[in-house]
A and B are shown apart, each in its own frame.
Chain A
Amino acid sequence: EAEVAQSPRYKITEKSQAVAFWCDPISGHATLYWYRQILGQGPELLVQFQDESVVDDSQLPKDRFSAERLKGVDSTLKIQPAELGDSAMYLCASSSGRLREQYFGPGTRLTVT
């Protein structure tokens, strides 16, 4: 069964360091999403891609966060510099199109010390 892949699964980094997360969506899924889930809350959308284009990044803190999906397949989310408040689970999801469910990867659990 096709799955969304994410790496690393866990990441510990010090404040002010740079950190990057990788996501490989289900093959053929044109829409890719990055969510952040703070402990005890539901996920919140950070950025949405349609192929290689950003569709929605209104909730992405652009002073420190960046996201790219250069060839319209896999994607990278970067934080530079990391802050203590960035500690969270970062979830990637993909969808085959409109009116379709989103399938989530296992997530990357980030701890900033």
Chain B
Amino acid sequence: AQKITQTQPGMFVQEKEAVTLDCTYDTSDQSYGLFWYKQPSSGEMIFLIYQGSYDEQNATEGRYSLNFQKARKSANLVISASQLGDSAMYFCAMREGGGADGLTFGKGTHLIIQP
């Protein structure tokens, strides 16, 4: 079974609209971390936001927020007021356990912002 599932291969969104990118995860660990990364066409992976499994409040970083629903094992990324520069691949990732282990990534969502 996949540990990280991103069900939206591609999305088209109008500029200035809010967009939600879906991510569900599968783990039996009680302690884990969830991450979102942005990958523009240039290839670098840019860290956006982090949510720990014990964090009671949803994480927010500027225009990015993470809608964390632990019981549903869901960690959706919400981008408010989308901009043309938001066009990129977006990856959800998980680190299991409380250490510094490597990340397990989903297949990604290709987001295209239209003017």
Interface residue ranges, A against B (CB under 8 Å) = 31, 33, 35, 40-45, 48, 50, 55-56, 89, 91, 93, 95, 97-107, 109
Contacts and interface: CB of A to CB of B under 8 A. Distances in A.
Nearest to B97: A98
Contacts of A44: 105
A40 B47 CA distance: 19
Select the residue from B52, B103, B104, B108 with max chain A CB neighbours within 10 A: B103
A105 B102 contact: no
A11 to B, nearest CB: 13
Contact of B102 (A41, A48, A100, A104): A48
A94 B40 CA distance: 20
Nearest to B102: A45
B102 A101 contact: no
Given A42-B106, A44-B105, A99 B98 contact: yes
Interface of B: 4, 33, 35, 37, 42-47, 50, 52, 91, 93, 98-108
A33 B105 CA distance: 14
Is chain A's binding surface mostly helix, strand, loop or mixed? strand
B43 A33 contact: no
A50 B100 contact: yes
B102 A33 contact: yes
Contacts of B104: 45
Nearest to A34: B102
A97 B44 contact: no
Nearest to B108: A42
Contact of A98 (B37, B45, B99): B99
Nearest to A35: B102
Of the listed residues A91, A97, A104, the one surrounded by the most CB atoms of chain B closer than 10 A to its CB is: A104
Nearest to A48: B102
Contacts of A31: 100
